[in-house]
Amino acid sequence: MDEFIATFFNVEVIRAASPILLQGLWMTLLLVLVAVPLGIAGGVLLAVLSVFRHPAVRWPLIAWVDFFRAFPPLVLLVFIYAGLPFAGIEIGAFGCVAIGFFLNTSSYYGEILRAGIESIPRGQVEAARSTGLSAAQTMTWVVLPQAVRNVLPDLVSNTLEVVKLTSIASVVALPELLFQARQAQSVTYNPSPIVAAAIIYFLLLWPFVRLLSRLEHKAVARR
């Protein structure tokens, strides 16, 4: 047991690695603060465009969403990081990760919000238009707020997945939490920093898991 603790829960190693682990945590939080709003904004745009039934809009939109939902995010990230320099675009690891996350997560947010929009009865849209609201005002003030409420558990669940997905940024040497933990492990020859990073992820996400559970229970109670 002592050997197990010394290998995976070595307090001295974790204490020595804590400065770079904290740096990685701040980078992870910054990435989340960029990736989640970008993904939601892109998702709203895709969901609103899905209202248009014209083939010139509908089919390219379906192809876009299906492609980025099916394309592995890790491969997409590597492709962007390795490919953009050949196009003469140098935006660094953080910019590449932000673009990759935007393309991937906006497709998922878009499908969730599209389902929310389609759950709103057509009569409410017609009633809003009859009061003099424009189509844009109806979507902004009537449809979207109700759509978000209807799919809020799914939005929170997808956001949790986005936060966990930030760990793949380590493959392009972005110094987020997992990358820093692996760096500390390579220096100390001890896996304790990886375990510490896993605990940090758990403490970061557990409150949102509990929030998601409450939202799901409320959604079931409303049915």
Q: Assess whether pLDDT exceeds 70 at residue 102.
A: yes
Q: What is the pLDDT of residue 213?
A: 85
Q: Assess whether pLDDT exceeds 90 at residue 3.
A: no
Task: Select from 69, 71, 74, 136 the least CA-distant residue to 108.
Answer: 69
Global pTM reads 0.91
Mean per-residue pLDDT, 167-174: 90
pLDDT (tens digit, 9 = 90+) per residue, 112-160? 999 999 999 988 888 888 888 888 889 989 999 999 999 999 999 999 9
CA dist., res. 110 & res. 17, Å (int)? 39
Helix ranges restricted to H, 50-151? 55-70, 73-83, 92-118, 122-130, 135-138, 144-150
Q: What is the pLDDT of residue 222?
A: 65
* Domains, the chain: 2-222 (1.10.3720.10)
